[in-house]
Amino acid sequence: MAQLFEYDELISRLTEEALAKPNPIIIIDGRAGSGKTTFASQLQNKLFLEGDSAPRVIHMDDLYPGWDGLKDGVSYLQRLVLNPLITKGSSSWQEYNWETNQRDIWREFSFGTPLIIEGCGSLNSYTASITPLTVWFDVPEEIRKLRTLERDGDKFIQYWDIWAAQELDFIALEKSPELASFILR
């Protein structure tokens, strides 16, 4: 059963647990506009202050191949980032460029610092099987939509319904909230 936490309390708890593990992977998921990216950045800063070096953050937005690519982005994360990382201790992948609609910049990661993965679809049966540090953001739609408008203006809102349908399908398939060790409301 997932534990419910307040914001600052959860950052402290995740920091404590991540620093107690040799190669921690932290998964932060929730629907669009729930605050995952901001939380991941604050957690990264807290882990850096408490640890030896800055943790790496992977944003699922850099893995999705466009507005209809949630499942493909999740598959890409598993195949090119996590599987090699688990088996070899390092991985490399290309980020998706939303302007050119293609993968371009190569990224690498090797164990040695914590890894934070944030974004819709990051919490699934596979990721829950490789790390106990899984978070689900439970935020009402009206708050999420308002945050998205404030953050992105009209850039994302035209895709809101398309993206929301993918999120709902993915959550129904994976039961992501039920896989979380921690829930932030």
Average pLDDT by stretches of 10, the chain with 185 residues? 86 94 96 96 92 89 97 98 97 97 97 96 98 96 92 87 97 98 92
Where along the chain do its domains lie? 3-184
Q: What is the reported pLDDT for 185?
A: 80
Q: Are strands 90-97 and 102-110 parallel, antiparallel or unpaired?
A: antiparallel
The pTM is what? Answer: 0.95
User: Cβ(135)–Cβ(29) under 8 Å?
Assistant: yes
**CB-side neighbour CA atoms (13 Å) of 177:** 13
Note the residue count of the chain.
185
Q: Could you tell me which CATH number the domain at 3-184 has?
A: 3.40.50.300
Predicted pLDDT of residue 145: 92
Q: H or E stretch including 172?
A: helix 160-174
- Residue 26: helix, strand or coil by DSSP? strand
Q: What is the pLDDT of residue 52?
A: 74
- State the Cα–Cα distance between residues 8 and 42, nearest whole angstrom: 10
Written as six digits, the tokens of 155 are 């850039």
